[in-house]
């Protein structure tokens, strides 16, 4: 479940000319806490005035769909600063991170990831870094796809059967076909062999 924002004074009392520092944390399970992430940022010298955190939210969730992150985007003002401990706090993957950084950059909001040093990701150097990271991520994804396809082709060439293992052995399939030929019902055989009716029907139709 999402954890509500924390701030050192009632929101929003920062003055017109005062640019605040926002922090954001996320953990995947309710057994975890984002407190260590907040302390990590403070230990690095950042004075976090407004802290938002999502608890029990998977890293596979897009940034815009994370409740407290969406609330942060609504509260943070143009020209202020967002600090996070790691890059994945800004999105589910490189594309999502790029979109988040681009959105914040359009509002002149500084985005600092402690993991990457004190580089503002919306600056020229930060954009270059993000582009490089995205290129590396894309290359890793392509390599993974290539390795998977190569493995599948090798398995096929070696005569290995792909996909989930069958729930019934070849001997059982022969028995099922014989019983079907004697008039046994699909439902009865499904119960007898502890498989689904669909499995029995597939065996019948593959004969």
pLDDT digits (tens, 9 = 90+) for 115-152: 888 889 988 888 888 788 777 777 777 777 787 778 77
pLDDT confidence tier of residue 49, bands split at 50, 70 and 90: very high
Q: Please tell me the total count of domains within the chain.
A: 2
pLDDT surpasses 60 at 11: no
Q: Taking a C-beta distance cutoff of 8 angstroms, is the pair 79, 109 a contact? A: yes
Is residue 105 situated within a structural domain?
Answer: yes
Mean per-residue pLDDT, 156-165: 67
Radius of gyration of the chain (CA): 27
CA 143 vs CA 138, 139, 140, 148: distances in Å: 9, 6, 5, 8
Helices 94-105 & 124-157 angle (0-180, nearest 10): 160
Q: Does one domain contain both 118 and 41? A: yes
The catalytic residue among 28, 58, 64, 185 is 28
pLDDT surpasses 80 at 167: no
Amino acid 85: pLDDT: 93
Active site residue 28: yes
| Longest CA–CA separation in the chain, Å | 87
Q: Taking a C-beta distance cutoff of 8 angstroms, is the pair 3, 68 a contact? A: yes
Is residue 79 situated within a structural domain?
Answer: yes
**Using CA atoms, how far apart are residues 91 and 74, in angstroms rounded to an integer?**
17
State both tokens at 66. 């994370």
* Domain end (from 93, 122, 151): 122
Q: Does one domain contain both 97 and 196? A: no
β-strand 21-27 against 81-84: which pairing, if any?
parallel
Distance of CA 72 to the CA centre of its chain: 19
Q: Does one domain contain both 31 and 101? A: yes
pLDDT surpasses 50 at 42: yes
Is residue 112 situated within a structural domain?
Answer: yes
CA 33 vs CA 46, 57, 72, 73, 190: distances in Å: 19, 12, 18, 21, 47
Reduced to 3 states (helix: H, G, I; strand: E, B; else coil), residue 25 is strand
* Domain end (from 122, 137, 161): 122
Amino acid 16: pLDDT: 46
Amino acid 15: pLDDT: 46
Amino acid 68: pLDDT: 96
Is residue 96 situated within a structural domain?
Answer: yes
Amino acid 9: pLDDT: 40
Lowest mean pLDDT among 77-81, 114-118, 134-138, 195-199: 134-138
Is residue 132 situated within a structural domain?
Answer: no
**Using CA atoms, how far apart are residues 24 and 101, in angstroms rounded to an integer?**
14
* Domain end (from 122, 155, 190): 122
Average pLDDT, the chain: 83
Q: Does one domain contain both 187 and 115? A: no
pLDDT confidence tier of residue 166, bands split at 50, 70 and 90: low
Q: Does one domain contain both 113 and 20? A: yes
Q: Does one domain contain both 105 and 176? A: no
Q: Does one domain contain both 99 and 34? A: yes
Mean per-residue pLDDT, 84-111: 89
Lowest mean pLDDT among 19-23, 43-47, 156-160: 156-160
Write out the residue range of the structural domain in which residue 190 sits. 170-205
Lowest mean pLDDT among 98-102, 158-162, 189-193: 158-162
Is residue 150 situated within a structural domain?
Answer: no
Q: Taking a C-beta distance cutoff of 8 angstroms, is the pair 119, 126 a contact? A: yes
Is residue 10 situated within a structural domain?
Answer: yes
Q: How many residues does the chain have?
A: 207
Q: Does one domain contain both 104 and 195? A: no
Q: Taking a C-beta distance cutoff of 8 angstroms, is the pair 132, 97 a contact? A: no
Is residue 40 situated within a structural domain?
Answer: yes
**Using CA atoms, how far apart are residues 176 and 161, in angstroms rounded to an integer?**
22
Amino acid 23: pLDDT: 97
pLDDT confidence tier of residue 78, bands split at 50, 70 and 90: very high
């Amino acid at each position: 479940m999402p954890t509500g924002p924390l701030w050192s004074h009632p929101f929003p009392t920062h003055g017109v000319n005062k640019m605040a520092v926002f922090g954001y944390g996320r953990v995947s399970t309710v057994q975890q806490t984002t407190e260590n992430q907040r302390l990590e940022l403070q230990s690095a010298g950042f004075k976090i005035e407004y802290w938002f955190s999502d608890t029990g939210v998977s890293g596979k969730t897009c940034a815009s769909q994370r409740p407290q992150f969406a609330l942060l985007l609504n509260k943070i003002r143009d020209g202020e600063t967002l600090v996070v401990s790691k890059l994945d706090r800004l999105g589910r993957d490189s594309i999502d991170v790029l979109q988040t950084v681009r959105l914040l950059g359009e509002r002149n909001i500084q985005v600092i990831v402690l993991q990457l040093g004190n580089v503002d990701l919306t600056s020229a150097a930060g954009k270059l870094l993000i582009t490089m990271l995205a290129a590396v991520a894309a290359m890793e994804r392509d390599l993974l796809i290539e390795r998977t396809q190569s493995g599948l082709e090798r398995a096929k060439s070696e005569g290995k059967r792909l996909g989930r293992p069958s729930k019934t052995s070849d001997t059982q399939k022969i028995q099922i076909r014989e019983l079907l030929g004697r008039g046994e019902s699909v439902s009865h055989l499904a119960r007898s062999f502890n498989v689904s009716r669909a499995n029995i029907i597939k065996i019948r139709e593959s004969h």
